[in-house]
Structure 1
Amino acid sequence: MTAVKPALKIATFIMLIWGCLMGVTVLLADWSTAQEVRAMVLSALVCLAVAVACMLLSRGPSIRMKAKPMFLVTAVNWGLLCLTGALPLYLGWPELSFIDALFESVSGVTTTGSTILIGLDDGPRTLILWRSLMQWVGGIGIILMAVAVLPFLKVGGMRLFKTESSEWSNIQNTRVRTVATQIGVVYILLTALAVAVYWALGMTGFNALNHALTSLATGGYSTSDSSFGQFDSNALIWAGSSFMLLGGLPFLLYVQSLHDRAWHIARDAQVQLLFKLVAAAALAMTVHRLLTGSSESFFHALTHAVFNITSVVTTTGYATEDYTLWGSFSLMLFVFLMFSGACSGSTSGGTKLFRFQLLGLLLREHLFKSLHPSGHFQRTYNHRPVGEGVLVASLAYLFVMLVSLLLFSIALTLTGLDAVTAGSAALTALMNVGPGFGEVIGPAGNFSTLPDTAKVILCLAMLLGRLEYMALLILFTPAFWRW
């Protein structure tokens, strides 16, 4: 317990914030619907009770934080957010089972965006707002994990991005708090900008707020069953593409660029690759659709191609059309984009582009040494040396990801799902994308008809992918529990 005390202090803070956000949602609630208000109030009280329990257990002076407790509390805190986040939905949404509420909460907190809810257009506005807030909090949560926690835990090659803000030797570390505050300010300002732009371009205030929260979080929860397709406006679609891209960029680089008054973000290798990937994929998709008989104009095809490609590569999950009907080439391109993800240190999920760049670096080194066995190859990324440990961790991440995809796909077929639904559900859950492929869980469908067993399996997959696999899997190794 002594070693876990610093982490429990974090859990206290997280549950207090969670309960306060529920309280804010109550203030914005439709007070004519007593069930929604009662659900939010009871859930907020549960969060505050958990916060008090964590505070009592963590009383005393702060001590040095070690890796093992941090692994445990990373998983426990995300689990707490998912469980308590499900309470308002379970208590307030008519006829919603706890499994469905938990699935919706896990999907929200992990910013996956898969949903089991039908009838969002006429659904409880208070709970729709709560869904969006869950994604918004989950978005900044993964940013802070990528900046301060995962490099410290040496997960998946994230040591490459280790900075002073990754030093957790003491829970009171001033640098950690400063960087977290600065990132939070940037996140809030970008969200406010998104609200203003969406509202100015024709969204109602309610739609503007919800879509701003989920755009920057690259979460994809919408206020309608037709997702972003409810807005018949090219201007709004381009604005949505822009804010999803902003959410897919490294937030620490926003802070550094503002602090140094320099365009650090434009010189980053991940950022450059992301923009090239989106541009190339969108152009290829547009040309393909026009050559295969589409009667729409070039600009209309480009608009929807850019939006849906940006949505998938940043793992947001919005859709303006059912892109699975665009042909086999489009389908395979979207599968690749689901794997890639955007930048590390952003709100997006997926493998992250830097790992593909590191694999390319490793391939170049292998080819170079095949030609020049005694030659010296300089291994750098963003002008920084890349150690052997970073490459090994990245390869381990990719291996675990592929094995997880195979095992979850097999497990889902055992629940009665067909191969396409099972495989795409496992992929979209592990990559935290949102919609899958096929008639059941594609962009035009949702996950409501899946059996409860499949939903529970997907909850685990969403958490596993969001926590970068190793941060959760290490808890199941016997060595972890030999303190």
Structure 2
Amino acid sequence: MLGFLRPVIYVCGFLVLIMSSMMLGVAGFAWLRADPETLIFLQSAGVAGVAGGAMVFGCRHAQFNLIARQLYLLTSLSWVMMSLAGALPLFFSHFDLSLTDAVFEAVSGITTTGSTVLAGLQDMPASLLLWRSILQWLGGLGVIGMAVSILPFLRVGGMRLFHTESSDWSDKSMPRIQSLARMLLLTYMGVSLACMLSYWAAGMSLFDAINHAMTTVSTGGYATDDRSMGRFGPGILWIAITFMLIGALPFTMLIAFVRRPSLAVLKNQQALGLLGIVAAVSLSLTAVLIADRQYAPFEALTQATFNLVSVITTTGYASTDYLLWGPFSIALFFLVMFVGGCSGSTSGGMKVFRFQLSYLFLRSQVRKLVHPNGVFITQYNGRPVQDDIILSAVAFSFLFFLTLGVITLLLALLGLDLLTSVSATATALTNVGPGVGNVVGPAGNFASLPVAAKWLLSFAMLLGRLELLTMMVLFTPMFWRG
């Protein structure tokens, strides 16, 4: 067993060391600003450095190749270890956060969920605000790296539908993987820089622009103020809409566009589907807001589009308490919470392509009812879809709603009301952030939930970010028997 675990622990140790180095960077920032959390970040970096170093040197190996079972374990354990390391500065901080709250906040950050137990963000030290943003930015980078490099090999996540020349696992040579990782990093950094400069030019302070750029492109949603994006004008909201949508697009498509700028590259069925859903739902809600005379036409369009894009892309920003818009709006926001962005993006949710495949499969089944002897080939992006991909989408959907039901029941057992139980579970599994209702809605937070509920939702956030099956397989006896 030790031989099986050694390379997994070795790689996780390097990830913890990376987290330690990021803490040192924030400690330097805190020292320059005479921030009271400077020593806290140095202490946290030391703890993480010792732990990561022990894992690396204790399990070092001249050379090893990871098999599929080890990749499953590595994918899950790496997110757990990064979350625990990310919780250290929050736990040791002067805010006297409990271990439960510190871990919940870190898991929410790393998984780019955006749910929070903190209040009074505008009064927090700048170093802690920056650390929360960094957690989400690192999580967003890890999401797309995992989606295009690891999950296709494990036959999880749907990225097998979207292979490009740079992401095809049929040639698993190290230079090809390194080239893909480099292009992902450069593209992600470039989009983040463009977002930051746009925010800054539109009137945000440099500090706010940096933080919000990291949490916008990662579709994470952490803000530097309890009002989230509600304190900014329409210009900044439209910039956020633009970059939330970019973050929700497949990064393999963005890389292909950077390498060969052409509108043909953007003709991606998944991306066009996402934009179509956003346009249709935003215009529908805008019409309702105008009819109810809640806003002037342009303000209605801005508020409706911003908040819907935030929920659909699973970012979780809010510019107002949209639950006050009436029952129709509450139901609409709850339903679009499940959609999510594109596979291979930083977004969570069930992903657009699964809804598209379900529709294509349903259409094919209806045609077979009319023409029992007919042969109908399901195509996606101009390619035939293999049966195992459709079966994988069906299995994921079944597991998703089964998990949703089980965790909802467990939260209800802990004393939460039905609306809070359902919406908290849904927002955790889809990595959206705010739910619906007075407790976990956009005007509330998760601080008042029982300790057991926070641990359960932390687990749900990890499940959702890792596409359920990646982590669920670890709980089967077959996995450990080999």
State the SS of the aligned residue for 1:293.
coil
User: Structure 1 218/48 Cα, relative in aligned 2: closer, same or farther at 3 Å?
Assistant: same
Q: Does the 8 A contact of 2:130 with 2:211 survive in 1?
A: yes
**Partner secondary structure for residue 56 of structure 1:** helix
Q: 1:376 and 1:61 mapped to 2: Cα distance? A: 53
Q: Distance in 2 between matches of 1:33 and 1:419?
A: 46
Q: Are residues 126 and 399 of structure 1, via their aligned partners in 2, closer, same or farther at CA, if it must alter by over 3 Å? A: same
CA distance in 1, matches of 2:168, 2:68: 12
Partner of 1:167: 169
CA deviations 1:315-366 (Å, max 9, x no partner) are 0000001011111111111112101001011100000000011111111111
User: Structure 2: how far apart are the matches of 1:28 and 1:250?
Assistant: 33
CA distance in 1, matches of 2:13, 2:456: 28
Q: How does 1:215-364 map to 2 (within 5 A)?
A: 215-231=216-232, 233-294=233-294, 296-364=295-363
Partner deviation per Cα, 1:99-135 (whole Å, 9 max, x = no partner): 1111100000000000010110111110110000000
The whole-number CA distance in structure 1 between the counterparts of 2:384 and 2:250 is 20
Aligned residue in 1 for 2:64: 63
Match of 1:13 in 2: 14
- The reply on whether 1:428 has 2:430 as its aligned counterpart is no
Decide whether aligned partners of structure 1 residues 272 and 185 sit closer, same or farther in structure 2, where only a CA change above 3 A counts.
same
**Superposition deviation, residue 6 in structure 1:** 4.6
Aligned residue for 2:176, secondary structure, equals: helix
- Return the offset for 1:5: 4.8
Who is 2:82 aligned against? 81
Secondary structure of the equivalent of 1:403? helix
Contact 1:110 1:135 (8 Å CA) reproduced: yes
Give the partner amino acid of 1:167: W
> Would you say the 8 A contact 2:36–2:125 is kept in 1?
no
Q: Distance in 2 between matches of 1:353 and 1:396?
A: 16
**Which residue number in structure 2 is paired with residue 202 of structure 1?**
203
Instruction: Report what 1:411 is aligned to.
Output: 410
Matches within 5 A, 1:387-466: 387-466=386-465
Deviation at 1:94, TM superposition (A): 1.4
User: Runs of 5+ in structure 2 lacking a partner?
Assistant: none
**TM superposition shift of 1:453:** 1.1
C-alpha distance in structure 1 between counterparts of 2:94 and 2:126, whole Å: 10
Q: Distance in 1 between matches of 2:61 and 2:95?
A: 44
Partners of 2:94 and 2:446 lie apart in 1 by: 17
- CA change 1:470–1:227 in 2 (3 A) is same
Letter of the aligned partner of 2:231 in structure 1? Q
How many residues align structurally? 480
In 2, the alpha carbon distance for the partners of 1:223 and 1:397 equals 35
- Letter in structure 2 aligned against 1:224: D
Given that residues 108 and 135 in structure 1 are in contact (C-alpha distance below 8 angstroms), is that contact kept between their aligned partners in structure 2? yes
**Does 2:119 align with 1:102?**
no
The 5-angstrom pairing of residues 139-150 of structure 1 reads 139-150=140-151
Look up the SS of the partner of 1:184 in the other structure: helix
C-alpha contact 2:9 2:59 (8 A) present in aligned 1:
yes
Q: Within 5 Å, give how 1:119-134 maps onto structure 2.
A: 119-134=120-135
1:112 counterpart letter in structure 2 = T
Quick one: distance in 2 between partners of 1:22 and 1:385? Answer: 47
Aligned AA for 1:348? S
Instruction: Give the secondary-structure state (helix, strand or coil) at the position aligned to 1:340.
Output: coil
Shift of 1:25: 0.9
Distance (Å, rounded) in 1 between the aligned partners of 2:168 and 2:412: 40
Confirm or deny that 1:474 pairs with 2:465: no
The answer to whether the aligner puts 1:151 opposite 2:152 as a matched pair is yes
1:8 Cα deviation after fit: 4.1
Distance 1:17 1:265, change over 3 A: farther
* 8 Å contact kept, 1:253–1:264: no
1:39–1:264 CA distance, 2 compared to 1 (3 A): farther
2:167 corresponds to which letter in structure 1? S
The residue identity in structure 1 corresponding to 2:48 is C
Identical-pair percentage: 43
Specify the code of the residue in structure 2 equivalent to 1:331: I
| SS of corresponding position for 2:410 | helix
Give me the whole-angstrom Cα distance separating, in 2, the residues matched to 1:157 and 1:344: 7
1:19-43 deviations in Å (ceiling 9; x for gaps): 1211111111155756511221122
Residue 165 of structure 1 aligns to a residue in which SS?
coil
The AA in structure 1 aligned to 2:144 is: I
Of 18-27 and 463-472, the range deviating more from structure 2: 18-27
Change (3 A) 1:73 1:335: same
Deviation at 1:87, TM superposition (A): 0.5
Is residue 250–residue 344 contact of structure 2 (8 Å, CA) maintained in 1?
A: yes
2:16/2:52 contact within 8 Å kept: yes
Tell me what 1:22 maps to.
23
Q: Quote the offset at 1:368 in angstroms.
A: 1.5
Q: Give, in angstroms, the shift of residue 9 of structure 1.
A: 4.6
Aligned to 1:178: 179
Specify the SS of the correspondent of 2:61. coil
TM-score between both structures, scaled by the size of structure 1: 0.96
CA 1:482 to 1:162, structure 2 compared with 1: closer, same or farther past 3 Å? Answer: farther
Q: Distance between the aligned counterparts of 2:291 and 2:83, measured in 1?
A: 45
Are the counterparts in 1 of residues 196 and 209 from structure 2 also a CA contact under 8 Å?
yes
- The one-letter code of the counterpart of 2:275 is F
Structure 1 CA distance for aligned equivalents of residues 411 and 155 of structure 2: 31
Q: Distance in 1 between matches of 2:336 and 2:6?
A: 41
How many Å apart are 1:174 and its aligned residue?
1.4
Q: Is 366-375 or 23-32 further displaced after alignment?
A: 23-32
| Residue 384 (structure 2) aligns with | 385
TM-score normalized by structure 2?
Answer: 0.96
Asked whether the 8 Å contact 2:257–2:266 carries over to 1, the reply is no
CA distance in 1: counterparts of 2:34 and 2:107, whole angstroms: 25
Q: Does structure 2 conserve the Cα–Cα contact (< 8 Å) formed by 1:143 and 1:345?
A: yes
> Relative to structure 1, is the Cα distance of residues 256 and 58 closer, same or farther in structure 2, using a 3 angstrom cutoff?
farther
The 3-state SS of whatever aligns with 1:441 is coil
Between the aligned partners of 2:202 and 2:438, the Cα distance in structure 1 is: 32
Taking a change above 3 Å as real, the CA distance of residues 265 and 168 of structure 1, as seen in their structure-2 partners, is closer
Aligned partner of 2:112 in structure 1 is: 111
